Amino acid sequence: TPPGMKIHKNRGLNALSPSKPPQKVNTKEYKNQNVIKGRLVVSNCLFNFMFFTILQLKFEKFSKYYISILEKVKLCNKAE
């Protein structure tokens, strides 16, 4: 094997690949990014939810849209 190359078993044509040290993941940074992403999704979802409820209450009776509002809340919770 050429220097700097490692043999990987069961890789066929890709048996030779440059041997790289495993990359260290900064877990703190990674977690923070996920928390921020999560918060953005939730706040955006809540905004949409409020917006839709106000629109629907203006034009129609509440009972008609109650189910669709519940669906939106479920979607919000899934996105968390």
* pLDDT tens figures, 19-75: 555 556 566 665 666 555 555 556 666 777 777 777 766 666 555 666 677 777 777
Confidence of residue 14 (pLDDT cuts 50, 70, 90): very low
Main-chain dihedrals φ then ψ at residue 32, nearest 5 degrees? -60, -45
Q: Is the pLDDT of residue 15 over 50?
A: no
Hey, where are the domains in the chain? 38-80
Q: Give the contacts of 11 (CB within 8 A, at least 6 positions apart).
A: 17
Q: What is the pLDDT of residue 4?
A: 57
